[in-house]
Amino acid sequence: MNQVHVTICVGTACYVLGGAELLGAIDELNHSYGGRVSCEGSPCLGLCKLGRENRAPFAKVNGRLIEAVTVESLKKAVEEALSEGGNG
């Protein structure tokens, strides 16, 4: 079964634009999918300093960057990663 690892930026810009809510959502996803979703908060990924602050918050799902993350888009990305083969 696939494992999915999620990194959520919890730097200031991302945190205030929803990063905290995303961390909570991952907890719920992990429960829903039997512990197959791991998550870590990351210091600023540096993207907000590259003129992309309007695309915050940022997250990575198995290393794939997602911009302007919402609970819904994060859930969709995690479910897609869980359904992909070849990651364990």
Nearest residue (beta carbon) to ligand FES: 11
- Using the rule CB under 6 A, is 11 a contact of ligand FES? yes
Residues 6+ apart with CB under 8 A from 79: none
Residues for the chain: how many in total? 88
Q: Can you tell me which of 23, 44, 68, 71 binds ligand FES, judged by CB under 6 A?
A: 44
For residues 42 and 9, the answer to whether their CB atoms sit within 8 Å is yes
Choose between 39 and 82: whose C-beta lies nearer to ligand FES: 39
- Using the rule CB under 6 A, is 9 a contact of ligand FES? yes
Report the nearest approach of ligand FES to the CB of residue 62 (Å). Answer: 18
Residues 15-34 that bind ligand FES (CB under 6 A): none
Residue environment code for 49-70, b if the CB has 16+ CB neighbours within 10 A, otherwise e: eeeeeebbbbbbbbeeebeebe
Which token pair is 61?
Answer: 């799902």
Contacts with ligand FES by CB under 6 A lie at 9, 11-14, 44-48, 56, 58
